[in-house]
Amino acid sequence: MPVDIDIDHVARLARIELTDEEKATLKAQLGQILEHAAKVGEVAAGDVPPTSYAIARANVYREDEPEPSLPVDEALRNAPDREGDRFKVPRIAETSS
């Protein structure tokens, strides 16, 4: 059975605007992919530990020393919009006036 997912909820979590057509297609395709993917539930028993990285590494530290950083103009060069030395975005909070 294809998995029935709430496509509007997932799209909201993923912050992606989808057309109605995309939603219909994705709902069907994701349902089918998840049906196949659910196979992972068949084998791995509770006593099998999960692996997040195949080659385990302990925490990797470095000295906390200041280093030269990217100049402001370089950092802003790819900005879609800027104002002075800042990234400019549409309003974030409601303004009370």
Partner 1 sequence: MTELCDLTGAQLSTMLAAGEVSAVEILGSSLARIDEVDDELHAFLTLTPQLARERAEELDVYRSSGAPLSPVAGIPTALKDVLTTNGIRTTCGSRILEGYVPPYDSTAWTRLSGDGAVLVGKTNCDEFAMGSSNENSAFGPVHNPWDLARVPGGSSGGSAAAVASGAAVWALGTDTGGSVRQPASLCGVVGLKPTYGLISRYGLIAFASSLDTVGTLTRSVRDAATLLSVLGGKDPRDATSLDGDPQDYTDGLEDGISGLRVGVVAEAFGEGVEPDVAGSVRAAVDRLEGLGAKVEEAHLPHAEYALSAYYLIAPSECSSNLARYDGVRYGTRALGEHADSVAMMFATRGQGFGSEVKRRVMLGTYALSAGYYEAYYGQAQKVRTLIIRDYEAAFERFDVLVSPTSPTTAFPIGAKVDDPMAMYLNDIFTIPANLAGVPAISVPCGLDAAGLPIGLQLTAGVLGERVLLRAASAFEAELGLDLRPPLLAA
Contact residues toward partner 1 (CB under 8 A) are 5, 7, 10-11, 13-18, 22, 25-26, 29-30, 32-34, 36-45, 48-55, 57, 60, 62, 70, 74-75, 77-81, 87, 89-92
Question: Tokens standing for 45?
Answer: 């028993």
Q: How far is the CB of 21 from partner 1 (least distance, A)?
A: 11
Q: How far is the CB of 66 from partner 1 (least distance, A)?
A: 15
Q: Are the beta carbons of 87 and 81 closer than 8 angstroms?
A: yes
Question: Tokens standing for 76?
Answer: 């802003």
CB atoms within 10 A of CB 7: 18
